């Protein structure tokens, strides 16, 4: 399935039905009086999250959504039926923004969550509503009111516990394919991953969702490479696995790669600079430069960052990586629980 994480849609509430102009005319009923019924209210357009969806692909083929209109009022004081609400299904993690994509209107981060996208119009009043002791034959009635209508921008932010970040070809796709059931595209050229991949990692009592984010390069926050399009998917994650390519012959400096990606994350959103992360020295089976390994170890000690060495090809270090990831997630959950508890105290 094609992964689409941005969409633009037009939503409109249904118009209300018109009020009726009618007078009761029946045999043996003198001076029957006005009996025009009210028009029904128009249906509203709602956005509702559906856990079975994981992309905004459906909005590529349909962009306009209008709720049902209210029915007109009728004589004999019969009110028009209200229009049915329109429920538009979106994936969990959808962010709803205004037409310009600037103001956040809703962040739909849980299953079954709803957002009123466009309210239906109110039905018009029939002439029976305007009868008074001094005006017993009103000819006044109201048309239905139009429903709200507007363009909305939708953005999807994946809901994952852990995000794998790093330069292109750092081994992210190979890693997620080894520790989960995800089967991303893997090849020996940059930007093999052009859409995020999700996988579920199970280890004993604990499972967590991991996302493989397309490779970041210098200037990603300014639109270089594919980075800026997918950096938003890092925002919801609680932990980062930062992969650094340690294989020889690439001409890369692991310490510089680490700093470049961290600067890009911080430049995109300042709070990402403080997001907990584990540094993963990948492709250790092809590492033949002891100086580069020692430089990375020293850099991580100075920054007080956890460093793990793995080889996704041979499987070395993967068990330790999963175990340390679970420990880090448990620690983050515990700290969050303590923070919430302190905030709730009077």
Render 69-101 in DSSP notation, one character per residue: PPPPPBTTTBPPPPPPPEEEEE-TTEEEE-TTS
> What are the chain's domains?
1-156 (2.70.210.12), 162-344 (3.40.50.300)
Is the separation of the CB atoms in 182 and 312 below 8 Å?
no
User: pTM for the complete prediction?
Assistant: 0.69
User: CA-CA distance, 15 to 270, in Å (whole number)?
Assistant: 44
The SS3 call for residue 47 is strand
The SS3 call for residue 6 is strand
User: CA-CA distance, 222 to 228, in Å (whole number)?
Assistant: 7
User: CA-CA distance, 24 to 77, in Å (whole number)?
Assistant: 9
Render each residue's pLDDT in the chain as its tens digit; 346 residues.
Answer: 455 678 999 999 999 999 999 998 777 766 778 999 999 999 999 999 998 887 888 898 899 999 999 999 999 889 999 999 999 999 888 999 999 888 999 999 888 999 999 999 999 999 999 988 888 889 999 999 999 999 999 988 877 889 888 888 788 888 888 888 766 544 443 444 446 777 888 877 778 888 888 766 555 445 554 555 667 778 888 899 999 988 877 778 899 989 988 888 888 888 888 889 999 999 998 888 889 999 999 999 999 999 999 998 899 999 999 999 999 999 988 887 665 454 554 5
Is the separation of the CB atoms in 156 and 94 below 8 Å?
yes
The crossing angle, in degrees rounded to 10, of helices 254-268 and 290-303 is 40
What are phi and psi for residue 305, nearest 5 degrees?
A: -110, 140
Q: Encode burial over 73-103: b for 16+ CB neighbours within 10 A, e otherwise.
A: bbbebbbbebbebbbbebbbbbbbbeeeeee
Q: Residue 184, CB half-sphere, CA atoms under 13 Å: how many?
A: 28
Predicted pLDDT at 333:
85
């Amino acid at each position: 399935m094609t992964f689409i994480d941005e969409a633009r849609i037009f939503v409109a509430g249904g118009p209300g039905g018109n009020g009726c102009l009618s007078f009761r005319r029946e045999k043996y009923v003198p001076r029957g009086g006005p009996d025009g019924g009210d028009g029904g209210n128009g249906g509203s357009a709602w956005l509702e999250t559906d856990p079975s969806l994981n992309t905004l692909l459906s909005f590529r083929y349909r962009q306009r959504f209008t709720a049902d209109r209210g029915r007109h009022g009728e004589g004999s004081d019969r009110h028009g039926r209200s229009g049915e609400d329109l429920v538009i299904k979106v994936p969990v993690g959808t962010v709803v923004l205004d037409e310009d994509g600037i103001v956040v209107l809703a962040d739909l981060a849980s299953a079954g969550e709803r957002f009123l996208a466009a309210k239906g119009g109110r039905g018009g009043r029939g002439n029976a509503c305007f009868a008074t002791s001094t005006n017993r034959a009103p000819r006044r009635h109201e048309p239905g009111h139009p429903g709200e209508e507007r363009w909305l921008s939708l953005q999807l932010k994946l809901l994952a516990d852990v995000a794998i970040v790093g330069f292109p070809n750092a081994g992210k796709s190979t890693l997620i394919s080894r520790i989960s059931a995800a089967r991303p595209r893997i090849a020996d050229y940059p930007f093999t991953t052009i859409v995020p991949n999700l996988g579920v990692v199970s280890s004993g009592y604990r499972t967590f969702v991991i996302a493989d984010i397309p490779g970041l390069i210098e200037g990603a926050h300014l639109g270089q490479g594919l980075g800026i399009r997918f950096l938003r998917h890092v925002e919801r994650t609680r932990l980062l696995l930062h992969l650094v390519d340690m294989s020889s012959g690439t001409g890369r400096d692991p310490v510089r790669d680490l700093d470049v990606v961290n600067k890009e994350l911080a430049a995109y959103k300042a709070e990402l600079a403080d997001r907990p992360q584990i540094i993963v020295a990948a492709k250790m089976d092809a590492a033949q430069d002891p100086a580069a390994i020692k430089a990375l170890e020293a850099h991580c000690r100075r920054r007080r960052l956890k460093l793990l060495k793995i080889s996704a090809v041979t499987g070395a270090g993967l068990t330790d990586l999963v175990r340390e990831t679970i420990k880090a997630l448990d620690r983050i959950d515990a700290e969050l629980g303590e923070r919430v508890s302190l905030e709730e105290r009077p």
